Chain A
Amino acid sequence: MFSTLKAPLEPSLSLAERLAALTSVSACYQCKKCSGGCPLTFAMDFYPDQVIRLALLGQEDQVLGCRTIWVCSSCETCTTRCPNQIDIAGVMDWLKEEALRRGFASPQPGVTRFHQTFLDTVRLAGGRLSEPLLLGLYQLRSGGTIAKLKSGALTADLRMAWELARRRRLVPRLPHRLKGVKEIKDIFANAAKQEKP
C-alpha cells in the first residue's frame, strides 16, 4: 500500500498539531486494530492505520486526496476499539472537511456529491430531507444519464423507484414546512462561514 507514495517522506508537524485539537492522534502505536476491524478496507487505497500514520508524518496531499476517507462508512468500529482512544472515524470526517475546504478533487466524486446534495436538499426544503428531491437532484448533478441508460443502470434505478413508489415509500412531495425555517437558514449560513481551529 505504501508503494503508492509518490515522493519521499518529508515530515511536517502542522497537520498533526491541528488534528491534536480533535483527538490524540499522536498516541497511535500502530497496532492496526482499526484496520483489522474495518469492514471497508476492500474499497480503500490506504488502511485506516496508514491514514493516521501519514497524517502524523504530515503527508497532507496523501491523506487529503485519498479514497479511504470517502469510502469510510462511519461505522465507528475503529473509534470504538482503538486502545488509545483515538477517534479515528472523527479523523476521517475532519480530513474530508479539510479536503473540501482546500479544494482537493475528491477521488470519490459520487460520494462527495451525494453528501453535498443531501445537505442542499435539506436547506432547500426548509429543514427536513425530501428523499425524492435528493435522488432526483443527485441524478441530475451526476450527469452521464445517456451512459446510464445504455448500461441499464438507469432502468434498474427507475424500477427500484417504482417499487418504492407503489408501496407509498417514495412520494413526490416536499416535506412539511417548518415554523423555524429562519432558524434553519441561520444554522446553514453560520455553518458555511465557520472556520475550523
Chain B
Amino acid sequence: MKVSYYPGCSLEGTAIDYAASIGGVSRHLDLELAELEDWNCCGATAAHSTNHQLSLALPARNLAIAEAAGRDVVVPCALCFNRLKVAEKALQGPEGAHLGVSYQGGIKIWDLLDYLSQDAYLKDLAPKVVKPLTGLKAVGYYGCMVARPPAVTDKKDAENPQNLERLLKVLGAEPIDWSFKTDCCGAGLAVARPDIIDTLVQRLYERALRTGAECLVVSCQMCQANLDMPQKRISKAFGKDYYLPVFYFTELIGLALGHPEVKKWLAGHLVDPLPLLEKLGFRF
C-alpha cells in the first residue's frame, strides 16, 4: 500500500529515532510512505495560541499538497495530525475561503497508530512476529491530540481508546489497562514551564507503576520526550528512582519482527530500555 506521509518538523530533529523506526517497520509491513513534497510546519501550539489565521493557513497548505498527491495522508505526530484535522474542518466551512488554497476533502487524514492498527494490518502482522514480547508489562499512553476533541479528530473512543492495546497483544506483550492513557503530559510547556511537566509526569509514573507496568508505550514524540527526557530530573526532585522506559509503538513492532536496527533506534532514548529488555530475555 502506498500512502502520503507528513512527518512534521520534530521527526527531522529531536524525534529522528521515531522517524527511523517508522521507516524500518513500514518496509516490513509493505507500507510505502511517500513523503509529501515541500511540506511545511503545521504551526503547532504556538500558532493556535497566538494567531488563529496562521494556525489554519499553515496546515491548509499541507492539505492542498496532500490532496494534489491524491492519496490518504498518514501522520506520526499527534499534534500535526490534530492541526491537519482542524484545518480540514475549517477548509470545508465558512473560513475555508480565506485560507489561500482549495481543498475538496477527497483524502483521509490518518494518525499513524490508527493506520497501523487497522484489522488488516494486525492480521498481516501476527504471522510476522518472530520475537514475541512475552512478559513485557506495558501501559499504552495515547496522550491528547490524536483523540481530542472528537469533533475534530473524528474518533469514536476519545476517552478510552484501545487500538494500542490491541496492537501490543498481537506483538505478544501484556498491555495493562489504566485510567490515565489520555491524560496530558504538559506538551509544549516543556521549555517555558518544566516544573509543570514534572508535576504531571510524576503523577503518570506513579499511576503506571501502580498498575504493575514496567514501561510506557507511546505514539507521540512530544509525549515520548516529556516522559523520557526528564526522568532523572523528576526522580531527583521527588526523591525516587524511577525506571520506566518509554517506547514508540513502532520500536516494539520492530522488536517483535526481529528488525536488525532496533538497538540503534533505542539508543536515542535517555532512559535506556536495554536492561528491561535483557531481563525479559532479549539479546542484541
A116–B50 CB distance below 8 A: yes
User: In the complex, which range does the number of interface residues on chain B fall in?
Assistant: 35 or more
Residues 105 to 159 of chain A near chain B (Cβ within 8 Å)? 108, 110-116, 118-119, 122, 127-132, 135, 138, 156
A89, A97, A128: the one within 8 Å of B9 (CB) = A128
Tell yes or no: B49 within 8 A of A by CB.
yes
B17, B46, B100: the one within 8 Å of A115 (CB) = B46
Q: A93-B52, A119-B47, A169-B17 are in contact. Are A127 and B268 (CB under 8 A)?
A: no
Complex CA distance for A183 and B65, rounded to whole angstroms: 12
Complex CA distance for A100 and B54, rounded to whole angstroms: 15
A186–B14 CB distance below 8 A: no
Return B266 CB to nearest CB of chain A, in Å.
11
Tell yes or no: A31 within 8 A of B by CB.
no
Q: Determine the chain A residues whose CB is within 8 A of the CB of B58 once the complex forms.
A: 187
A119–B144 CB distance below 8 A: no
Q: A127-B40, A186-B100, A191-B54 are in contact. Are A71 and B196 (CB under 8 A)?
A: yes
A96–B192 CB distance below 8 A: no
Q: A75-B144, A163-B270 are in contact. Are A114 and B46 (CB under 8 A)?
A: yes
Among A118, A190, A192, find the residue whose CB has the most chain B CB atoms closer than 10 A.
A118
Q: A80-B158, A97-B50, A190-B100 are in contact. Are A73 and B187 (CB under 8 A)?
A: yes
B113-144 Cβ-contact flags toward A at 8 Å (1 or 0)? 00000000000000000000000000000001
B32-64 Cβ-contact flags toward A at 8 Å (1 or 0)? 000000111101111111111110011001000
Q: Determine the chain A residues whose CB is within 8 A of the CB of B150 once the complex forms.
A: 80
- Pick out which of these stretches binds chain B: A2-10, A11-19, A50-58, A170-178: A170-178
Tally of A interface residues using CB under 8 Å: 63
Tell yes or no: B13 within 8 A of A by CB.
yes
A119–B192 CB distance below 8 A: no
B14–A170 CB distance below 8 A: yes
Number of A-B residue pairs, CB cutoff 8 Å, is: 161
Q: Determine the chain B residues whose CB is within 8 A of the CB of A175 once the complex forms.
A: 9, 12
B45–A76 CB distance below 8 A: no
Tell yes or no: B30 within 8 A of A by CB.
no
Return A35 CB to nearest CB of chain B, in Å.
14
Return B178 CB to nearest CB of chain A, in Å.
15
Q: A97-B50, A114-B192, A191-B53 are in contact. Are A75 and B184 (CB under 8 A)?
A: yes
Tell yes or no: A102 within 8 A of B by CB.
no
Q: A118-B46, A128-B40 are in contact. Are A187 and B9 (CB under 8 A)?
A: no
B134-170 Cβ-contact flags toward A at 8 Å (1 or 0)? 0000000000110011110000001100000000000
A79, A97, A127: the one within 8 Å of B149 (CB) = A79
Return B275 CB to nearest CB of chain A, in Å.
18
Q: Which 6 A-B pairs have the closest CB atoms?
A: A118-B46, A191-B54, A76-B148, A75-B184, A110-B192, A129-B9
Extra contacts besides A128-B9, A186-B100 (14): CB < 8 Å? A39-B184, A71-B196, A76-B144, A89-B149, A93-B49, A113-B192, A119-B43, A122-B40, A128-B39, A129-B10, A168-B16, A170-B14, A190-B53, A194-B52
Taking Cβ atoms with an 8 Å cutoff, the residues of B that contact A are: 9-10, 12-17, 38-41, 43-54, 57-58, 61, 100, 144-145, 148-151, 158-159, 183-184, 186-189, 191-193, 196, 199-200, 229, 233, 267-268, 270
